[in-house]
Structure 1
């Protein structure tokens, strides 16, 4: 199973699309999905952690 964690600075349209997509995948049972707020990130950015690897989204 894939573990996906998303860190977001605030809840905006950009993050909403990302979170909605992750929730859709989680419903299929193919991933375990969690998210958390990280106020040190700039607005409209996020960090994706997938099985121990990190991706910066801008």
Structure 2
């Protein structure tokens, strides 16, 4: 908490971690990861809709 300067209000500071490189993730890495996750979920959702409607 000292690194974030939040000792006075005792709030929680979350941080995302890059496990492959053993360090905190940068904002750019976080945004690219989240956008990739959204793309994957939308493709999966489209596939499920096609299957349920009878299209191959």
Q: TM-score range by the shorter chain?
A: 0.3 to 0.5
The structure with the largest strand share of the pair is: 1
The structure with the largest helix share of the pair is: 2
Structure 2 length-normalised TM: 0.33
Q: Bigger radius of gyration, 1 or 2?
A: 2
